[in-house]
């Protein structure tokens, strides 16, 4: 099939890894090097875009000279050879894109992609692996720069994970970053997050810790998927969204600009404007900065490697709210789409009823909140819900605002639990 020619094209062979990374010494402390952790925190065909984003990031960072022994990749690895994939072994991040799956390391795949392993790896401990994963641990030191990229669904104070507890809580992540600092595991750390409500993960990050964060969305909003079915033959053929707006804008701009001249601040400014759709926020979100902005004059190459610029092809982005993007594979199946929408409506009604019952029959006295103040109450409420109402699907993460609001308002945990039991039954 002629249309698949560009899809099946592979990246030019990347130079083999060397034992060390002397490439960026002019940007780092003496004898310092670069370390990278890439995380796709979801699975299933409907979430194709998160693994595709991470694979694309890997290819660029590897091409920029950072070797595999300094890159750790978390990905479920259920996309390339998924039965729904019309191009087996191929994953693309844009309609005209190359195969970004080639040679991606399998440090943590399948059930090894979980919160416990991620937090262990960040803090210098090896994760638990099955036979499929090769493992890996962050061995950075106080003279090294660390870059972390995380792509997934998010909710108030949480990011998703496909296995284990299926959540990464903001206070857990903050604890890991604090431990990294205590163990002198970085000179400077830069962290990019693609997720709805991703800003809610970093609200308490101080401005003098050498940790700089860019998020795809503020604490109160969805981020957006891109290259969704409807605009291009390739997206229609794949049947799901190929990437996320923040991520593809970042990766495509980094490809065309290179990394040696652009600063972190300049990259942020571009992303803020382009992802907001020129400040209209119609089909776009608020890209945010958190933490230590004192080193945003550093060049991008100091964290993502030295990538030479090259020409890229632009396509229509055809965005969808990330809470709806998972529906894309069902667009050609009206019956299945109706069933999924009905199920979502049922879940939304459950959260509304829980909130109402916990407040004694009224919703009027409680304003919605996305900033978690009482983490123990929030965790307990989520766990009670999962135990009695079932798993919390990723499209339902936004409804966790109900528990944030109840806990922040001081509603006793026993009343929240009683409301959950009343709505979902014993």
DSSP string, 403-420: HHHHHHTT--HHHHHHHH
* DSSP alpha helix (H) spans, 216-262: 233-238, 245-257
Instruction: Kindly name the residue from 70, 75, 196, 369 that is annotated as catalytic.
Output: 196
Report whether 56 contacts 103 (CB < 8 A). no
* Spatial separation of the C-alpha atoms in residues 28 and 20, rounded to whole Å: 14
* Spatial separation of the C-alpha atoms in residues 306 and 254, rounded to whole Å: 11
CB atoms near residue 142 (< 10 Å): 12
φ, ψ dihedrals at 59, nearest 5°? -60, -40
Whether 196 is catalytic is yes
Report whether 253 contacts 270 (CB < 8 A). yes
Q: Which of 198, 111, 118, 105 is nearest to 152 (CA)?
A: 198
How far CA 145 is from CA of 3, 73, 142, 236, 265, in Å, comes to 41, 17, 8, 40, 17
Instruction: Kindly name the residue from 50, 75, 153, 286 that is annotated as catalytic.
Output: 153
Q: In what order do the strands lie in the sheet with 158-160?
A: 154-155, 158-160, 167-169
* DSSP alpha helix (H) spans, 368-412: 375-389, 401-408
Partners of 193 in the β-ladder: 150, 215
Taking each helix axis from N to C end, the angle separating 245-257 and 48-63, rounded to the nearest 10 degrees, works out to 20
φ, ψ dihedrals at 150, nearest 5°? -130, 125
Q: Residue by residue, what is the 3-state secondary structure of 163-215?
A: ECCCEEEHHHHHHHHHHHHHCCCCCEEEEEEECCCHHHHCCCCCCCCCEEEEE
Q: In what order do the strands lie in the sheet with 224-226?
A: 243-244, 224-226, 320-321
* Spatial separation of the C-alpha atoms in residues 51 and 13, rounded to whole Å: 21
Whether 389 is catalytic is no
**Catalytic residue numbers, as ranges:** 153, 196
């Amino acid at each position: 099939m002629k249309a698949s020619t560009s899809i099946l094209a592979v990246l030019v062979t990347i130079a083999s890894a060397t034992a060390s990374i002397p490439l960026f010494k002019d940007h780092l402390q003496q004898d310092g090097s670069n370390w990278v952790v890439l995380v796709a925190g979801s699975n299933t065909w409907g979430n194709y875009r998160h693994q595709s984003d991470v694979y694309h990031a890997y290819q660029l960072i590897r091409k920029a000279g950072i070797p595999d022994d300094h890159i750790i990749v978390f990905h479920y690895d259920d996309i390339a050879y998924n039965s729904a994939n019309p191009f087996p072994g191929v994953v693309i991040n844009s309609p005209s894109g190359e195969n970004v799956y080639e040679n991606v390391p399998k440090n943590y795949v399948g059930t090894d992609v979980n919160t416990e392993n991620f937090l262990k790896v960040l803090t210098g401990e090896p994760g638990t692996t099955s036979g499929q994963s090769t493992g890996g641990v962050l061995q950075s030191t106080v003279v090294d720069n660390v870059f972390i990229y995380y792509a997934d669904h998010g909710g108030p104070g949480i990011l998703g994970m496909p296995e284990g507890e299926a959540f990464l809580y903001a206070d857990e992540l903050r604890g890991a970053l604090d431990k990294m600092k205590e163990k002198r595991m970085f000179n400077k750390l830069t962290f990019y997050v693609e997720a709805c409500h991703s800003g809610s993960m970093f609200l308490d990050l101080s401005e003098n810790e050498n940790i700089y964060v860019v998020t795809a969305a503020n604490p109160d909003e969805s981020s957006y998927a891109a290259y969704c079915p409807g605009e291009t033959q390739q997206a229609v053929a794949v049947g799901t969204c190929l990437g996320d707006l923040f991520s593809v804008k970042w990766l495509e701009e980094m490809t065309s600009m290179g990394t040696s001249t652009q600063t972190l601040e300049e990259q942020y400014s571009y992303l803020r404007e382009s992802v907001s759709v020129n400040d209209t926020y119609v089909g776009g979100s608020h890209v945010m900065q958190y933490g230590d902005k004192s080193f945003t004059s550093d060049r991008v190459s100091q964290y993502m490697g030295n990538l030479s610029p090259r020409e890229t092809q632009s396509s229509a982005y055809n965005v969808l709210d990330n809470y709806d993007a998972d529906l894309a594979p069902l667009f050609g199946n009206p019956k299945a789409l109706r069933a999924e929408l009905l199920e979502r409506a049922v879940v939304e009604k459950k959260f509304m009823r829980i909130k109402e019952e916990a407040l004694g029959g009224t919703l009027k006295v409680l304003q919605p909140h996305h900033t978690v103040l009482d983490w123990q109450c929030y965790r307990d409420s989520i766990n009670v819900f999962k135990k009695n109402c079932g798993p919390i699907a990723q499209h339902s993460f936004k409804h966790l605002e109900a528990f944030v609001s109840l806990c922040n308002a001081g509603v006793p945990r026993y009343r929240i639990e009683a409301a959950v039991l009343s709505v979902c039954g014993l």
